[in-house]
C-alpha cells in the first residue's frame, strides 16, 4: 500500500518535471510528447489507485468483522470497485461509509488522466534573440566621392549606380584643362525618389526581410550614417506679417504673405529655385557638355555656387474642423485663414535609424537626427547677375564658398547632396490657387505628396515643417531599396560598397531576430491542483487502510478466494489465508453433496442430511462438473 502510494507520487513528480522541461520549447513531436505525458499520468493514477485498493480491502475486513450485513450488502461491498450500481445499495452507504468512499475514489481516478492531459498545450509565442545578420546595409556618401563614372564599380556583374550624372570638358582626360562637372540627378535616383513621393513613405526593397532576417523571421536593427536633411524654420505667421530672413538668406523678391489667403489667392505658394544650378552650363556645347570654345574655360564653369533655399508659403485654416467660406465675398473670409511662411535649407545631418522588418513590411523610425552644417556656406544674391561666361547667372557670397569641379571629392559629395535635394524641390515647388476654395487650381506636384490634405480642400497639413523634413528623409531612406546605389554599403564594413551580394561572415552586424512560433505551454498550477487532490485523497485512504490494519490485529488482509474462510478451519494461516498445503488442493464449482462441499454448515447439519445435493465449490472427487465437448 505504501509502495504503491509512493510510486504514484513519484510519477506525479516525474510528470511535472517532464512538462517543465517542455515548457517554452518549440512544439516539436507534439503527439509523442503528449503520449509520454499520458503514460506518466496513467502510471500516477495506477499507483494511487493501487494504494487505495489495498486500503479498501482492509476496510472491507474491518466492516465485516464488526458489523452484520445482508448477503446482498456483502455482495455489493466486495464488488464496489467493479460494479458502479453498488452505490445504489442504501445498506452499504449507511454501514460501510469509509469503504464506499474509497471505492468512489477508485471510480473517480480516471479524471486524473483526463484533467492532467489539458495542462500541456501549444500556444503561439514570440521568440526574440539578439544575434547578427549578414545582410544589413547603411549609407556612406564617400563612395560617391571616389567613383569614376568611366570605370564604374561592378559587383556581381551589376554596375554601381550614382545619384548624379556628369558632363566633361574634354574627351582626353590627360589634357590640362580637362575636368568633369555635374549635370543633373541620375534617372535611377529620380525613379526612386518619385516612387517614394507617390507612395508617401520610404521605398522598401522587395523581400528585404528574407535577405536580412532569414526566411520566416522578422528583425530589427539600428544603423548610423551621415546624409542630407532639410532644416526648416517658420519665418512668418499672420495676416500682413513680414517674412524674416533665414540666417543670411533673404526671401525672394516679391514673396510676401499677401500672396496667401485671405488677402491673396493662394493656399500654397512655394519658390524653391532661387540660385539653382544650371544643368546647361554652356550655351554652346557639344554632346556630353564639352564646350565648343577653346580653353581656358570660364573660371566658374560647373561650380556649385549656392544651394537653393525653399521658401514655402501656405494658408492654415484657423478652425480645421469648420467648413471655410467658399470665396472672398462671403462673411468670415478674413478670419478663416492664417498665412504662414517657412524656409528650408539643405544640411548634412547624422542619422540614427531603426529598421523593423516584420511580416514582409519595412518600418523605419529615425530615432535621432543631428544637424551638422549646411551643404553650402554661401548666400544667393538674387539681384546680381554673374555674367561670368557660363549659362549660369547665379551669384552667391562669399565666392570663396563656391565648390569647384577640381576639388574632386568635395565637389562629388556636394553634387550627391544637391541631386537628392533637387527632387524634393521639384515636388515642393509651385502653387495652389484656392481663391475659389471649392475648385483649387493646381500648379504644383505637391498635390501628389504627403504635404497636402485631400480631405481638407488640399490645404497643407498644419505640421508642414515636419512633413517636409520627413519627405526628404523618405527619399534618402529609399536608397536602401536598391543595393546598386553607390552610397549603400555594409553596416559592418562601411568602406565597402555592398552591391546585391547577400553578405557573409565578414558582414555580420548586430540585429534582433524574432518570429511567432508554436511552443509548449505548461500550466503547472492546473496539474498540481489535480494531483494534489488525488494525492491528498489517496493519503487519507492510506491512513484509513493503516487504521484498518491495526484494527485487524496488524494483519494485512486481502479478498482472495482462499482468504475467505469458508471451510479451511484450522488450516488457515495467521493472516486469514489458507495454508500452503490447502492452496495446492484443486477446487471446482459444480454439483456437490452438502456434507462434502466447501460450505459453512455445522457438523450437526451435515449429519442430519448427508445426502442433500446442491451447487457449490467442492474438492476434486467431491464435485461433478459439466464438461464442454469442444
In eight-state DSSP terms, residue 357 is E
Bond into 238 cis (ω within 30): no
**Could you tell me the three cell numbers for 264?**
491673396
What confidence tens digit (pLDDT) does each residue in 274-302 have? Answer: 999 999 999 889 989 999 999 999 999 99
The per-residue pLDDT for 606 is 43
Distance CA 498, CA 136 (A): 9
For residues 364 and 575, the model is more confident at 364
Arithmetic mean of pLDDT, 160-174: 95
Mean model confidence pLDDT for the chain: 86
Helix/strand/coil for 112: helix
How far apart, in Å, are the Cα atoms of 428 and each of 277, 416, 452, 599?
17, 19, 10, 114
What confidence tens digit (pLDDT) does each residue in 520-558 have? Answer: 999 999 888 888 888 887 787 777 777 767 776 666 666
Query: Would you say residue 577 has pLDDT above 60?
Result: no
Looking at the DSSP bridge assignments, the partners of residue 315 are 339
pLDDT band for 108, please (50, 70, 90 cuts): confident
Arithmetic mean of pLDDT, 364-390: 96
Distance CA 575, CA 588 (A): 24
Q: Where do runs of H (alpha helix) occur along 269-352? A: 333-336
The per-residue pLDDT for 433 is 93
Distance CA 342, CA 362 (A): 31
Q: At 75, which helix (H) or strand (E)?
A: helix 71-78
The per-residue pLDDT for 601 is 42
Helix/strand/coil for 430: strand
Q: At 237, which helix (H) or strand (E)?
A: strand 218-237
How far apart, in Å, are the Cα atoms of 522 and each of 23, 237, 515, 518, 537?
5, 63, 20, 13, 24
Distance CA 202, CA 9 (A): 62
The per-residue pLDDT for 560 is 59
Distance CA 450, CA 198 (A): 8
Query: Would you say residue 94 has pLDDT above 60?
Result: yes
The per-residue pLDDT for 379 is 97
Burial degree of 253 (CB within 10 A; 0-12, 13-18, 19+):
exposed
Q: Where do runs of H (alpha helix) occur along 245-399? A: 333-336
Query: Would you say residue 603 has pLDDT above 70?
Result: no
Residues 6+ apart with CB under 8 A from 425: 272, 273, 276, 308, 310
The per-residue pLDDT for 570 is 45
Using alpha carbons only, give the angle 502, 505, 507 rounded to the nearest 5 degrees: 60
The per-residue pLDDT for 211 is 92
Query: Would you say residue 578 has pLDDT above 60?
Result: no
Using alpha carbons only, give the angle 594, 600, 605 rounded to the nearest 5 degrees: 55
- Transcribe 574-598 into DSSP letters: TTSSBPHHHHTS-EEEEEEETTTBS
Closest CA relative to residue 296, chosen from 433, 463, 177, 406: 177
Query: Would you say residue 567 has pLDDT above 50?
Result: no
Closest CA relative to residue 289, chosen from 164, 132, 377: 164
For residues 25 and 64, the model is more confident at 25
Arithmetic mean of pLDDT, 615-621: 68
What confidence tens digit (pLDDT) does each residue in 484-500 have? Answer: 999 999 999 999 999 99
Please provide residue 611's backbone torsions phi and psi, each rounded to the nearest 5 degrees. -105, 5
pLDDT band for 1, please (50, 70, 90 cuts): confident
Arithmetic mean of pLDDT, 318-327: 79
Question: Is the Cα torsion angle 290, 294, 296, 300 positive or negative in sign?
Answer: negative
Among residues of the chain, what percentage have pLDDT more than 70? 84
**Cβ density class 320-329: b for 16+ within 10 Å, e for less:** eeeebbeeee
Amino acid at each position: 500500500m505504501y509502495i504503491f502510494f509512493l510510486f504514484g507520487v513519484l510519477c506525479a513528480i516525474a510528470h511535472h518535471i517532464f512538462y517543465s522541461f517542455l515548457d517554452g520549447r518549440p512544439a516539436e513531436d507534439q503527439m509523442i510528447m503528449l503520449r509520454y505525458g499520458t503514460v506518466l499520468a496513467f502510471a500516477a493514477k495506477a499507483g494511487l489507485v493501487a494504494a487505495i485498493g489495498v486500503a479498501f480491502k482492509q476496510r472491507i475486513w474491518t466492516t465485516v468483522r464488526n458489523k452484520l450485513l445482508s448477503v446482498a450488502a456483502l455482495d455489493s461491498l466486495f464488488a464496489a470497485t467493479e460494479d458502479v450500481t453498488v452505490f445504489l445499495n442504501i445498506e452499504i452507504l449507511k454501514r460501510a461509509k469509509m469503504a464506499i468512499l474509497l471505492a468512489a475514489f477508485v471510480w473517480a481516478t480516471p479524471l486524473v488522466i483526463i484533467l492532467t492531459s489539458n495542462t500541456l498545450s501549444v500556444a503561439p509565442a514570440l521568440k526574440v534573440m539578439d544575434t547578427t545578420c549578414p545582410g544589413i546595409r547603411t549609407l556612406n556618401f564617400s563612395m560617391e566621392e571616389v567613383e569614376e563614372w568611366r570605370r564604374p564599380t561592378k559587383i556581381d556583374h551589376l554596375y554601381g549606380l550614382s545619384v548624379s550624372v556628369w558632363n566633361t570638358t574634354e574627351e582626353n582626360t590627360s589634357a590640362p584643362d580637362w575636368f568633369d562637372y555635374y549635370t543633373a540627378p541620375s534617372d535611377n535616383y529620380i525613379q526612386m525618389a518619385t516612387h517614394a513621393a507617390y507612395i508617401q513613405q520610404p521605398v522598401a526593397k522587395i523581400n528585404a526581410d528574407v535577405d536580412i532576417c532569414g526566411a520566416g523571421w522578422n528583425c530589427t536593427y539600428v544603423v548610423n550614417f551621415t546624409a542630407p536633411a532639410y532644416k526648416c524654420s517658420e519665418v512668418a505667421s499672420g495676416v500682413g506679417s513680414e517674412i524674416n530672413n533665414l540666417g543670411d538668406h533673404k526671401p525672394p523678391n516679391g514673396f510676401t504673405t499677401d500672396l496667401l489667403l485671405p488677402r491673396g489667392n493662394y493656399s500654397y505658394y512655394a519658390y524653391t529655385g532661387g540660385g539653382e544650378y544650371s544643368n546647361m552650363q554652356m550655351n554652346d556645347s557639344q554632346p556630353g557638355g564639352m564646350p565648343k570654345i577653346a580653353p581656358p574655360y570660364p573660371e566658374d564653369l560647373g561650380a556649385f555656387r549656392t544651394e537653393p533655399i525653399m521658401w514655402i508659403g501656405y494658408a492654415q485654416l484657423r478652425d480645421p474642423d469648420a467648413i471655410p467660406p467658399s470665396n472672398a465675398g462671403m462673411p468670415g473670409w478674413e478670419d478663416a485663414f492664417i498665412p504662414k511662411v517657412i524656409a528650408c535649407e539643405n544640411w548634412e545631418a547624422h542619422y540614427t535609424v531603426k529598421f523593423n522588418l516584420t511580416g514582409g513590411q519595412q518600418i523605419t523610425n529615425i530615432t535621432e537626427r543631428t544637424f551638422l552644417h549646411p551643404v553650402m556656406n554661401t548666400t544667393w544674391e538674387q539681384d546680381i547677375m554673374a555674367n561670368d561666361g557660363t549659362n549660369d547667372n547665379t551669384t552667391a557670397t562669399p565666392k570663396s564658398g563656391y565648390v569647384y569641379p577640381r576639388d574632386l571629392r568635395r565637389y562629388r559629395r556636394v553634387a550627391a547632396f544637391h541631386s537628392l535635394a533637387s527632387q524634393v524641390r521639384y515636388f515642393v515647388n509651385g502653387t495652389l490657387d484656392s481663391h475659389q476654395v471649392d475648385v483649387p487650381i493646381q500648379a504644383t506636384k505637391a498635390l501628389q505628396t504627403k504635404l497636402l490634405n485631400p480631405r481638407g480642400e488640399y490645404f497643407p497639413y498644419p505640421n508642414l515643417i515636419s512633413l517636409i523634413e520627413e519627405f526628404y528623409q523618405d527619399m534618402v531612406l529609399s536608397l536602401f531599396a536598391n543595393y546598386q546605389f553607390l552610397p549603400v554599403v555594409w553596416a559592418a564594413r562601411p568602406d565597402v560598397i555592398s552591391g546585391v551580394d547577400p553578405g557573409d561572415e565578414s558582414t555580420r552586424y548586430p540585429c534582433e531576430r524574432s518570429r511567432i512560433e508554436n511552443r509548449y505551454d505548461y500550466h503547472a498550477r492546473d496539474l498540481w491542483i489535480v494531483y494534489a487532490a488525488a494525492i491528498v485523497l489517496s493519503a487519507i485512504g492510506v491512513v484509513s487502510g493503516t487504521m484498518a490494519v491495526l484494527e485487524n490485529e496488524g494483519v494485512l488482509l486481502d479478498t482472495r478466494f482462499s482468504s475467505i474462510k469458508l471451510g479451511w478451519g484450522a488450516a488457515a494461516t495467521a493472516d486469514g489465508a489458507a495454508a500452503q498445503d490447502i492452496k495446492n488442493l484443486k477446487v471446482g464449482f459444480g454439483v456437490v453433496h452438502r456434507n462434502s462441499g466447501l460450505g459453512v454448515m455445522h457438523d450437526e447439519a451435515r449429519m442430519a442430511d448427508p445426502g442433500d445435493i446442491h451447487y457449490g465449490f467442492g474438492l476434486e472427487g467431491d464435485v461433478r462438473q459439466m464438461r464442454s465437448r469442444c
